[in-house]
A = this chain, B = another copy of it.
Amino acid sequence: MADVREHWIASIPGDGIGIEVIEQAHRVLKQLEKLSKTFKLHIDTFNWSSNDYLKTGEYIPADGLKTLKKYDAILFGAVGSPDVPDHISLWGLILPIRKMFNQYVNLRPIRVLPGLSSPLKHIDAQDLDWVIVRENSEGEYAGQGGTTHDDTPYTIANEVAVFTRQGIERTIRFAFDTASSRPRKHLTLVTKSNAQRHGLVLWDKIFYEVAAEYPDVKTDKMLVDAMTVRMVLKPSTLDTIVATNLHGDILSDLAAALSGSIGVAPSSNLNPTREFPSMFEPIHGSAPDIAGLGVANPVGTFWSVAEMLKWLGEQEAGEKLMKGIEKVTESGFKTKDIGGNADMVTVTEALLRELEN
């Protein structure tokens, strides 16, 4: 069995519906492993959650990141709890992983899956086929800033967005590579360099420098506000999109909504140098209002798993999974958010059966 490839996966279900969708993802991964026979998966689960934080004051134990570092990939559910302020939970769990492992690209493919429909009139499903390349390590999420004169009438708080040439350039290069690998070879830069005169102007400048090295990629440039208009009114004019951390965050949620539901969209937090593990997570959150009810949409997590498998070199399994997901949504095994009435386990089991075929 010398040619069986082995992959070590750290699984972090987190909070709320993260816990249940990750459980379904494990079932799917085991099925794929069983069917393939050419790879073996070692999945270790880390139950780091807001409950832990409330008990211990920490999300990630002292040696946690060191432990994670040894894995080939991280599968993440969701974090967020009504009992912990969001800025504590996110800076306690998800943001440190993105930053420590230099996952500087957040890659978000958006398509209208078969059986789903866009809330937009007048578009065909194939009009909306985008990849958003979001800078994932700095910018508006740099974590700098602070508050002065707290609890006085003169309180002042700053958020400092930090943009570095290397941080911008590596993301833009990744975006050009992505665009160049897609049939339409088109890349749209999003900034707000009219109002934000420093970091965003630097984005524009580096974008055009790098563009010169990719003569095969057609480019254009949008302001983030006008970009939302184009996404809604002219979706077919877009292909690959590159944006800052915050702009990419906003635009990818909008994109997911325009594709039918935020419940199906995946995201890959990539360390393209492969020095550290990359992390795969659905773009939806922990949805405390429906947690534990078994009605969460597992498709965003399954699609993230497909992306993870491809990243790990298991192209065939990743594609098989993606085809399976599409068959399942097409056949009407859909949760309520995408117009069906199946529960989470029914969708998962439809997928497991589909994978057997």
Contacts and interface: CB of A to CB of B under 8 A. Distances in A.
A197 interface: yes
B195 A166 contact: no
B262 A157 contact: no
Contact of A202 (B85, B155, B195): B155
Interface in A242-273: 246, 249-250, 252-254, 256-258, 261-262
A143 B252 CA distance: 27
Interface stretch (A86-94, A178-186, A292-300): A86-94
A134 to B, nearest CB: 11
Interface residues of A, number: 65
Contacts of A47: none
A357 interface: no
Given A156-B162, A158-B162, A162-B156, A195 B250 contact: no
A297 B152 CA distance: 47
A250 B222 CA distance: 12
Contact of A257 (B158, B201, B233, B262): B233
Contacts of A232: 119, 254, 257-258
Given A121-B120, A140-B195, A257-B228, A156 B147 contact: no
B228 A195 contact: no
B160 A193 contact: no
Interface string A110-145: 000000010111100000000000000000110101
Contacts of A143: 197
A229 interface: yes
A164 interface: yes
Interface string A220-232: 0001111011001
Nearest to A252: B225
Given A165-B155, A253-B225, A195 B246 contact: yes
A312 interface: no
Q: Is the interface of A mostly helix, strand, loop or mixed?
A: mixed
Given A225-B250, A253-B226, A256-B229, A201 B87 contact: yes
A67 interface: no
A159 B200 contact: yes
Contacts of A215: none
Contacts of A162: 156-158
A86 B201 CA distance: 10
Contacts of A56: none
Contacts of A152: 165
Given A122-B119, A232-B257, A257-B228, A198 B146 contact: yes
17 contacts: A87-B196, A90-B195, A119-B233, A141-B195, A155-B164, A156-B162, A157-B201, A157-B202, A158-B161, A159-B196, A159-B198, A192-B249, A225-B249, A225-B253, A226-B253, A232-B257, A233-B257
